[in-house]
């Protein structure tokens, strides 16, 4: 087999998985990460069944499940009345996937797990503290410039996977437009040791609708395995960062999800801008955009990172076939042909619909949405169909059908 080198930029969860998927297929890989360590701030954690199937192929599944929480159900609530509207049960997907549940494992654990594997593999170079600042390409090669430690250097690769996140330097260097919009409100993530199951009969993943201010509530294991909850809220559009992050505002928000006064041991706050954007192209020559570099979305439903991992896995397979001369270079066009429409249909449209459902203000439409959710949950065929879409199983099947 030829020894064509694949260079991956960014050791977030998508880049680390892309690098591991390529290395396990026997290709020499270089992974460049700007920071000296993986970002461990609270971000994505919900891992859908098709993603668990990929992690199983990569040999990571046992570690991954061991470091997370298995969540079989998710629930919709009417927050003002504390009423459970509908519950969905992934067990209904048994027979459709070997993993009829999601696993809540924080994304930095996945990146670290994959990097640990990569470090033990031959012909793999992992460089932390190496920031890519530019690149150029011709028909045969890509030359990447990176800064760090010993100054600026140039690395040559046959293919580049740009998994350098939403602000992707590579996407900008390639002049690829990031089409879409930014929501006017920001999202606040409050991580607390308070156990919401002590005050509400909720499960590990809960979506709470409220015309004034919705909440997503879910539990993760934490690095110490002791368990903690993340409560996600929108800010008011005119709310200054300093106000949203103030003790008073944080405790008032927790109180609106029934945390008793004086309780709610806050361990982390995260306030961030939320976008719905998709790169106009996913490929330019020998360079491919993957994960948040290619698309960003609101986190309601836990879809964006999952989609990025599906892309990484898909792209590794396509590159493998081309490098092994089992297929012509034209096969690589399938990456964009397949992945871009799937992201728009299953991630962008779905996450926007999820957000609209939680924030609906029109009383009649709220009632209608709740009724529809409750009826969907009660009807076995609709329940299954809803989950096939929400879990990205339908998207994974559609991907396999795109030539
Ligand atoms: C604050 C925040 C909260 C979020 N919360 C949720 C959530 O609750 N649920 C959810 O589903 N999703 C959430 N997301 C989205 C989710 O975190 C992303 O989908 C996920 O991180 C995408 O992984 P990635 O590997 O593509 O990109 P990233 O995780 O962003 O990784 C990109 C990596 O590339 C590195 N890098 C960047 N530029 C360069 C460069 N020039 N050279 C070398 N390396 C570079 C970065 O340091 C980083 O390590 C959140 C995102 C943010 C920002």
Report pLDDT digits (tens) over 33-74: 999 999 999 999 999 999 999 999 999 999 999 999 999 999
> Is the model's pLDDT at 395 over the cut of 90?
yes
Determine which helix (DSSP H) or strand (DSSP E) holds 131, and give its type and residue range. Answer: strand 131-137
Q: End-to-end distance of the chain based on CA atoms, in angstroms? A: 25
> Quick one: angle between helices 393-401 and 49-57, nearest 10?
60
Instruction: Read off the pLDDT of residues 76-118 as tens digits, 9 standing for 90 and up.
Output: 999 999 999 999 999 999 999 999 999 999 999 999 999 999 9
Question: Which pLDDT score is estimated for 403?
Answer: 83
Number of H helices, E strands in the chain: 13, 20
Indicate whether residue 165 lines ligand 1 (CB < 6 A). yes
Which phi and psi (to 5°) does residue 148 adopt? 155, 160
pLDDT, residue 258, reads 87
For 320-355, how does the pLDDT look when each residue is reduced to its tens digit (9 = 90+)? 999 999 999 999 999 999 999 999 999 999 999 999
Quote the mean pLDDT of the chain: 96
DSSP 3-state of 246:
coil
Return the SS3 of 97. Answer: strand
**Phi first, then psi: what are they for 193, rounded to 5°?**
-85, -5
Is 299's C-beta closer than 6 angstroms to any atom of ligand 1? yes
DSSP state of 262: T
Nearest alpha carbon to residue 270 among 68, 69, 47, 45: 45
- 3-class secondary structure, 120: coil
Q: How confident is the model at residue 14 (pLDDT cuts 50, 70, 90)?
A: very high
Strand partners of residue 142: 137, 157
Does residue 4 register a pLDDT over 80?
no
Give nearest CA residue, ligand 1 atom 52.
Answer: 43
Shortest-distance atom of ligand 1 to CA 304 = 19
pTM above 0.95, yes or no: yes
Residue ranges of alpha helices (H) inside 231-327 are: 241-244, 247-256, 304-323
pLDDT score at 175: 98
Answer positive or negative: Cα dihedral of 348, 11, 38, 148: negative
- Which residues are CB-neighbours of 291 under 8 A, at least 6 positions away? 10, 12, 13, 14, 15, 163, 165, 305, 308, 309, 311, 312
Determine if ligand 1 sits within 6 Å of the CB of residue 147: no
Alpha-carbon distance of 79 to 214, in angstroms, equals: 7
Q: How many angstroms does the Cα of residue 237 sit away from the middle of ligand 1? A: 24
Q: Is 304 in the pocket of ligand 1 (CB under 6 A)?
A: yes
Give dist(CA 146, CA 125) in Å, integer. Answer: 14
Q: Compute, in angstroms, the gap from residue 264 CA to the centroid of ligand 1.
A: 27
CB-based contacts of 397: which residues, under 8 Å, 6+ apart?
none
Mean pLDDT throughout 198-215?
96
Phi, psi of 199 (to 5 degrees): -120, -15
Q: Do the Cβ atoms of 97 and 393 come closer than 8 Å?
A: yes
What is the CB neighbour count within 10 angstroms for residue 339?
Answer: 26
| Residue 111: how many other CB atoms lie within 10 Å | 23
Indicate whether residue 107 lines ligand 1 (CB < 6 A): yes
Provide the β-strand partners of residue 73: 89
pLDDT at position 1 is 44
Residue 393's pLDDT is what?
97
Return the pLDDT at 3: 60
Q: What is the pLDDT of residues 139-162, one digit of tens each?
A: 999 999 999 977 899 999 999 999
Q: What pLDDT score was predicted for residue 178?
A: 98
Per-residue pLDDT tens digits for 295-308: 999 999 999 999 99
Helices 49-57, 304-323: inter-axial angle, 10-degree rounding:
40
Q: Identify the band that residue 357 occupies on the pLDDT scale cut at 50, 70 and 90.
A: very high
- Cβ atoms of 44 and 299 within 8 Å: the answer is yes
Which is the closest atom of ligand 1 to the Cα of 303?
11
Residue of the nearest CA to atom 31 in ligand 1?
A: 12
- Reported confidence tier of residue 164, pLDDT bands at 50, 70, 90: very high
- The confidence score (pLDDT) of residue 193 equals 95
35: which 2 tokens? 């920071």
Check pLDDT > 90 for residue 2: no
112 Cα–ligand 1 center, Å: 14
Q: Is the CB of 291 under 6 A from ligand 1?
A: yes
Nearest residue to 101 (alpha-carbon basis) of 15, 20, 27, 204 = 204
User: C-alpha distances in angstroms, 341 versus 178, 304, 331?
Assistant: 15, 14, 17
Which protein residue's CA is at the shortest distance from atom 41 of ligand 1?
Answer: 132
């Amino acid at each position: 087999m030829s020894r064509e080198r694949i260079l991956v930029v960014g050791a977030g969860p998508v880049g680390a998985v892309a690098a591991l998927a390529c290395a396990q297929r026997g290709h020499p890989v270089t992974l460049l990460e700007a920071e000296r360590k993986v970002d461990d701030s609270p971000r994505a954690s919900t891992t859908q069944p098709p993603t668990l199937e990929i992690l199983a192929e990569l040999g990571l599944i046992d570690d991954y499940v061991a470091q997370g929480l298995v969540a079989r159900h998710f629930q919709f609530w009417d927050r003002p009345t504390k009423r459970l509207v509908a519950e969905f049960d992934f067990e209904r997907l048994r027979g459709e996937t070997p993993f009829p549940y999601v696993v809540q494992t924080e994304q930095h654990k996945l990146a670290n797990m994959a990097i640990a594997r990569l470090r033990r593999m031959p012909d793999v170079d992992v460089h932390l503290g190496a920031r890519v600042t530019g690149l150029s390409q011709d028909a045969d090669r890509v030359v990447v410039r990176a800064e760090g430690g010993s100054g600026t250097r140039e690395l040559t690769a046959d293919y580049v996977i740009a998994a350098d996140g939403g602000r992707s330097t590579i996407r900008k260097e390639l002049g690829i437009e990031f089409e879409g919009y930014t929501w006017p409100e920001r999202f606040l993530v409050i991580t607390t040791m308070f156990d919401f199951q002590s005050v509400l009969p909720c499960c590990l993943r809960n979506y709470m609708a409220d015309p004034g201010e919705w909440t997503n509530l879910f539990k993760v294991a934490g690095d110490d395995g002791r368990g903690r909850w993340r409560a996600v809220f929108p800010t008011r559009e005119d709310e200054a960062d300093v106000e949203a992050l103030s003790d008073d505002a944080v405790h008032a928000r927790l109180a609106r999800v029934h945390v008793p006064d004086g309780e709610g041991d806050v361990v982390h706050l995260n306030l961030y801008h939320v976008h719905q954007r998709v790169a106009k192209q996913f490929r330019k020559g020998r360079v491919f955009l993957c994960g948040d570099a290619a698309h960003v979305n609101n986190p309601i439903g836990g879809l964006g990172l999952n989609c990025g991992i599906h892309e990484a896995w898909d792209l590794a397979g396509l590159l493998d076939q081309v490098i092994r001369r089992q297929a012509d270079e034209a096969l690589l066009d399938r990456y964009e042909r397949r992945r871009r429409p799937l992201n728009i249909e299953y991630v962008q449209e779905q996450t926007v619909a999820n957000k609209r459902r939680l924030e609906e203000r029109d009383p009649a439409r709220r009632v209608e949405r709740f009724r529809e959710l409750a009826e969907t949950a009660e009807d076995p065929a609709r329940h299954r169909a809803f989950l096939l879409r929400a879990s990205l199983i339908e998207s994974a099947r559609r991907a396999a059908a795109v030539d």
